[in-house]
Amino acid sequence: MQESASILQRVASGDPAATTECIARFSGLVWSLARKLCANPSEAEDAVQEIFVDLWKSAGRFDPAIASETTFVAMIARRRLIDRGRRRMRRPEVPQIPETIADARERRDGTEANEQLAIAQRAFEQLRPEQRQVLQLAIHQGCSHEQIATATGMPLGTVKTHARRGLIKIRQILAEQGVLAPDQVGDAASGAAEGSAP
């Protein structure tokens, strides 16, 4: 009993064995809450990972005089899941460009497609470093906004802003080079502006 009561304190002190014990002891509770409050199994998996990361960061705040470890873990999990639900409800649509590029390539021969690829690569290189980093993680590694925020240490809102502005900038450059129609850029910019409105 005394050993299990000190798992979070041992996690806070950096004990690697305590991390494994913590997952073994509380994964059932965390998974149960995630399955109830997440829209699908994939989101539940992401949520469980975020909860345990948050738990490692918050373990130093655990005080056995205030609450049990189970109560503390459940509170962290519920808070994280409620935050995810709120973000999901107000998540703006991010304009997608790969389909547009793919459609344009279907209408052109292989030489033009290669030219467009070079233009797209140059457009990507013109982005700010933060925008490039966010889009690389999202497009090449398939990371969610939340995963990018965790990996980079950027606030979630900043990640979304970099993604939106980066995509808009790429669309503008592609339109200037004749790869996209100008009205596609306008639609993306107005959609992004609506998404960023309070």
How far apart CA 167 and CA 9 sit, in angstroms, is 44
Q: Are residues 84 and 11 in the same domain?
A: yes
Choice between 191 and 22, residue whose per-residue pLDDT is larger: 22
Q: Tell me: the pLDDT tens digits for 63-118?
A: 888 889 999 999 999 999 988 888 877 765 555 555 555 555 555 555 666 676 77
- Contact yes or no for 89/185 (Cβ under 8 A): no
Q: Tell me: the pLDDT tens digits for 9-19?
A: 888 888 888 88
Considering 90, 125, 160, which residue would you say is the last residue of a domain? 90
Structural domain count, the chain: 2
Considering 73, 90, 107, which residue would you say is the last residue of a domain? 90
Q: Are residues 25 and 62 in the same domain?
A: yes
Q: Are residues 103 and 82 in the same domain?
A: no
Q: Are residues 127 and 182 in the same domain?
A: yes
Q: What is the pLDDT of residue 98?
A: 54
Q: Are residues 39 and 126 in the same domain?
A: no
Q: What is the pLDDT of residue 110?
A: 58
Q: Tell me: the pLDDT tens digits for 139-164?
A: 777 888 898 888 888 899 999 998 88
Q: Are residues 146 and 74 in the same domain?
A: no
Q: Are residues 108 and 189 in the same domain?
A: yes
**Lookup: tokens for 56:** 């490692």
How far apart CA 119 and CA 15 sit, in angstroms, is 50
Residues with Cβ within 8 Å of 145's Cβ and at least 6 positions away in sequence, in order, are 138, 156, 159, 160, 163
- Check whether 135 has a pLDDT greater than 60: yes
**Lookup: tokens for 49:** 């990972």
**Lookup: tokens for 66:** 């205030």
Domain that holds residue 77: 2-90
Burial of residue 122 (CB within 10 Å: 0-12, 13-18, 19+) is exposed
- Domain with residue 117: its CATH number is 1.10.10.10
Q: Are residues 50 and 126 in the same domain?
A: no
Residue identified by tokens 């299990």 is 4
- Tell me if the pTM is above 0.85: no
- Domain with residue 55: its CATH number is 1.10.1740.10
Q: How far is CA 125 from CA 119, 169, 173, in A?
A: 10, 11, 11
Q: Are residues 77 and 147 in the same domain?
A: no
Backbone angles phi, psi at 126, to 5 degrees: -80, -10
Considering 70, 90, 110, which residue would you say is the last residue of a domain? 90
Q: Are residues 66 and 38 in the same domain?
A: yes
